[in-house]
Amino acid sequence: MEQLLSILDVKDKLLIVISPDPDAISSAWALKRLLTRKVHTITIAFIRETKRLDNLAMIKLLRIPLKPLSGLDISFYTKLAIVDSQPHHFPELESLSFDIIIDHHPLKSKIETSFVDIEPDCGATATLLTEYLRSMKIKPSTYLATALFYGIKTDTQNFALRGTERDIKAFRYLFNYINQTLIRKIETSELSLDNIHYFKKAFNAMQVSWRYHRIFVFLGEIDNPDICVILADFFLRIYEISWSIVAGTYQDRIIVIFRSDGYRKNAGSLAEKAFGKIGQAGGHKEMARAEIPFGNLENMLASFTVENLRSFLLHQITKAGSENGFILRTN
Mean pLDDT of the region 17-45: 96
Amino acid identity at 315:
H
Query: Is a pLDDT exceeding 80 seen at residue 238?
Result: yes
Query: What's the rounded Cα separation, in Å, for the pair 216 and 310?
Result: 10
323 pLDDT band, cuts 50/70/90, is: low
Mean pLDDT of the region 207-225: 91
Question: For the segment 146-189, what is each residue's pLDDT rounded down to a tens digit?
Answer: 999 999 999 998 887 778 999 999 999 999 999 999 999 998 88
- Residue 102: partners with Cβ closer than 8 Å, 6 or more residues away: 27, 31, 81, 82, 83, 84, 115, 117, 118, 125, 128, 129
Query: What's the rounded Cα separation, in Å, for the pair 197 and 189?
Result: 17
CB burial of residue 156 (10 Å; 0-12, 13-18, 19+): buried
CB burial of residue 290 (10 Å; 0-12, 13-18, 19+): buried
- How many other CB atoms are found less than 10 A from the CB of residue 9? 11
Q: Does domain 195-322 have CATH number 3.10.310.30?
A: yes
User: Per CATH, which fold does 2-187 belong to?
Assistant: inorganic pyrophosphatase (n-terminal core) (3.90.1640)
Query: What's the rounded Cα separation, in Å, for the pair 190 and 238?
Result: 19
Query: What's the rounded Cα separation, in Å, for the pair 206 and 154?
Result: 25
- How many other CB atoms are found less than 10 A from the CB of residue 184? 10
Q: What is the mean pLDDT of the chain?
A: 90
Per-residue DSSP letter, 6: H
Mean pLDDT of the region 59-80: 95
Boundaries of every domain in the chain: 2-187, 195-322
Mean pLDDT of the region 225-251: 93
Higher pLDDT, 304 or 219: 219
CB burial of residue 96 (10 Å; 0-12, 13-18, 19+): middle
Amino acid identity at 159:
F
Q: What is the pTM of this model?
A: 0.74
Mean pLDDT of the region 244-254: 94
Dihedral of alpha carbons 118, 120, 122, 126, sign: positive
